[in-house]
């Protein structure tokens, strides 16, 4: 097993289609004439390019699941077979598509003769296995079986990676094959590649993103078209954005799994689901969105991975929650099922990635980029990066996260009220960024609605300040508190 690391499989392995080998015989022990040698012999002939094409090795590809994403992966692999062969150096032959019910009606892009309900056979009889069934089991067991059979594995399954990433990485290392998962974070946007490979020469300090298409679509439809939560969710499901169980989207769990993956890659530290503070969008109402607009903001479900290094705390904080984003911030104009990810790194500064974060065809693009990379490695050598967790940074508790609050208060509209409020912030070492006041009369009382936005401070100090405001006698009511990001 260990022989293949960092160098090509013996090219001899690839001069005949892999389906021609005897059952059970591993791909790397097939003995035939090296492809490169054959091609070199042909290059003096006028027919060399044709010969080169004909001599491309064939890699067997198995697909687990033919739903929203799997169907598009299969369609594109079949429609653009010549392009994939040219880019990867091998013909990619789909040998089987594992589905739950071979007789169920499905897209005609998926040839019926490829369908099987034997997922184990598909997982263990291919060079490249693409897992697109989702969920933890049987996806985990099938992927482990695929690695054990010597396959490279591609998946879009963020829930599985956030729960069992280290085990999957270890299985890939043991098998000496590739483990790729570009589709797992932000669909078509190449953010896994960016964090795993492009940022390998830098020190990431924070990642702030909209990484769930369903919730962004719901909030956007509620915001721009006045749709109800339920109507917007139904439309997101129709568009193929939502997970099989959309509560994973709505309750922030899908974004939390992505945040865990992002943080693991950005900070070279193992981060799992339990390390992520999560709040979804279930409680967001049309009024909340109107109030956000009144404050010059949009309300977005954000995933945040942050490194904190100061006198009070050192470590990383990873969280998913709705937050106000100023209308002129790039994340405020991310609409519909689109995603965007802002990466801050010490040397590079700020990088922004934007694109379709969900949907069958965009996600298939990410899956297929991984397929090409894994296939090219099987032909030419090289490998996907292994797990990098050397930094092993501590995960900070939620109260040590740094954020800003927007706090709305009703106070008596009288001299000294604002000074009393400001004093509470000062007492808790929280600095005020801005104050807005609107006076009004309620049942004969002259009141003011005061909207205060703080500078960044640890959640513990912000919460203590809010408690202090509740106890301050000039404060009639703390109307709302919301986190603000992107200031
Ligand atoms: N839909 C999207 O926009 C995106 C999805 N993903 C991920 O891609 C994966 C697939 O997502 P979708 O295609 O949307 O899901 P889907 O629910 O449309 O498709 C999954 C398919 O797998 C089949 N399946 C389930 N268990 C099976 C089993 N044991 N054997 C054979 N087939 C089985 C189901 O019948 C279904 O047809 C998930 O991990 C998801 O999180 C990632 C990025 C975007
Ligand atoms: N359900 C997810 C699909 C992509 O990961 C989403 O809505 O973003
Ligand atoms: Na991606």
Q: What atom in ligand 1 is closest to the CA of residue 242? A: 1
Kindly give the number of the ligand 2 atom that is closest to the alpha carbon of 186.
Answer: 5
- Please indicate whether residue 187, judged by its CB atom, sits closer than 6 Å to ligand 2: yes
254 lines ligand 2 (CB under 6 A): yes
Confidence category of residue 328, pLDDT binned at 50, 70, 90:
very high
d(CA 284, CA 301): 10
CA of 369 to the centre of ligand 3 (A): 10
ipTM over 0.95: yes
pTM of the entire predicted model: 0.90
Q: Which ligand is nearest to the CA of 243?
A: 2
Residue to mutate, 99, 132, 370, ligand 1, most ligand atoms under 8 Å from C-beta: 132
pLDDT digits (tens, 9 = 90+) for 211-247: 999 999 999 999 889 899 999 999 999 999 999 999 9
Closest CA to 259 of 328, 186, 313: 186
What is the rounded average pLDDT of the residues 444-462? 93
Distance from CA of residue 222 to its chain's centroid? 23
Closest CA to 281 of 248, 320, 322: 322
Q: Cα separation of 148 and 168, whole Å?
A: 11
What's the token pair of residue 133?
């069934």
Q: Which atom of ligand 2 is nearest to the CA of 183?
A: 5
**Token duo for residue 211:** 């990484």
Residue 483 has pLDDT above 70, yes or no: yes
Give me the pLDDT at residue 157, please: 98
Burial class (CB in 10 A: 0-12, 13-18, 19+), 364: buried
Ligand nearest to the CA of 190: 3
158 is catalytic: no
State CA 273 to chain mean position distance: 13
Distance CA 178, CA 180 (A): 6
Q: Is the pLDDT score of 4 beyond 90?
A: no
Q: What is the mean pLDDT of residues 6-26?
A: 37
**Which two structure tokens, joined as six digits, stand for 71?**
């169907």
């Amino acid at each position: 097993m260990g022989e293949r690391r960092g160098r090509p499989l013996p090219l001899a392995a690839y001069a005949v289609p892999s389906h021609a080998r005897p059952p059970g015989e591993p791909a790397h022990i097939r003995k035939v004439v090296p492809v490169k040698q054959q091609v070199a012999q042909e290059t003096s002939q006028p027919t060399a390019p044709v010969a080169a094409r004909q001599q491309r090795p064939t890699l067997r590809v198995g697909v687990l699941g033919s739903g929203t994403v799997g169907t598009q992966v299969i369609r594109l692999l079949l429609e653009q077979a010549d392009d994939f062969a040219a880019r990867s150096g091998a013909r990619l032959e789909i040998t089987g598509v594992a589905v739950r019910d071979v007789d169920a009606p499905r897209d005609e892009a998926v040839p019926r003769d490829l369908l099987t309900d034997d997922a184990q056979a598909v997982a263990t009889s291919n060079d490249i296995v693409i897992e697109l069934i989702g969920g933890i089991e049987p996806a985990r067991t099938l992927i482990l079986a695929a690695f054990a059979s010597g396959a490279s594995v591609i998946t879009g399954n963020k829930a599985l990676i956030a729960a069992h990433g280290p085990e999957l990485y270890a299985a890939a290392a043991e098998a000496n094959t590739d483990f790729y998962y570009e589709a797992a974070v932000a669909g078509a946007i190449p953010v896994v590649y960016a964090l795993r490979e492009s940022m390998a020469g830098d020190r990431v300090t924070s990642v702030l993103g909209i990484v769930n298409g369903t919730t962004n679509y719901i909030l956007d439809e509620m915001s721009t078209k006045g749709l109800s939560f339920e109507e917007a969710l139904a439309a997101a499901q129709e568009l193929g954005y939502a997970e099989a169980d959309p509560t994973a989207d709505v309750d922030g769990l899908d974004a939390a799994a992505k945040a865990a993956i992002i943080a693991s890659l950005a900070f070279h530290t193992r981060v799992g689901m339990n390390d992520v503070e999560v709040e979804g969008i279930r409680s967001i109402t049309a009024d909340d969105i109107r109030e956000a607009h009144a404050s010059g903001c949009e309300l977005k479900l954000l995933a945040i991975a942050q490194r904190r290094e100061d006198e009070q705390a050192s470590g990383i904080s990873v969280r998913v929650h709705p937050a106000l984003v100023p209308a002129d911030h790039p994340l405020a104009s991310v609409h519909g099922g689109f995603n965007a990810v802002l990466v801050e790194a010490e040397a590079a500064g700020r990088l922004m990635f934007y694109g379709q974060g969900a949907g069958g065809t965009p996600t298939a693009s990410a899956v297929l980029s991984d397929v090409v990379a894994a296939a090219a490695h099987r032909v030419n050598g090289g490998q996907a990066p292994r797990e990098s967790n050397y930094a092993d940074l501590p995960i900070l508790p939620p109260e040590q996260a740094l954020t800003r609050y927007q706090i709305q208060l009703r106070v008596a509209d009288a001299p000294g009220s604002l000074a009393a409020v400001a004093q509470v912030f000062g007492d808790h070492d929280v600095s005020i960024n801005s104050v807005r006041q609107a006076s009004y009369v309620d049942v004969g009382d002259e009141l003011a609605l005061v909207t205060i936005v703080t500078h960044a401070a640890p959640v513990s100090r912000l919460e203590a300040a809010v408690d202090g405001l509740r106890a301050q006698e000039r404060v009639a009511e703390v109307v709302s508190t919301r986190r603000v990001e992107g200031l």
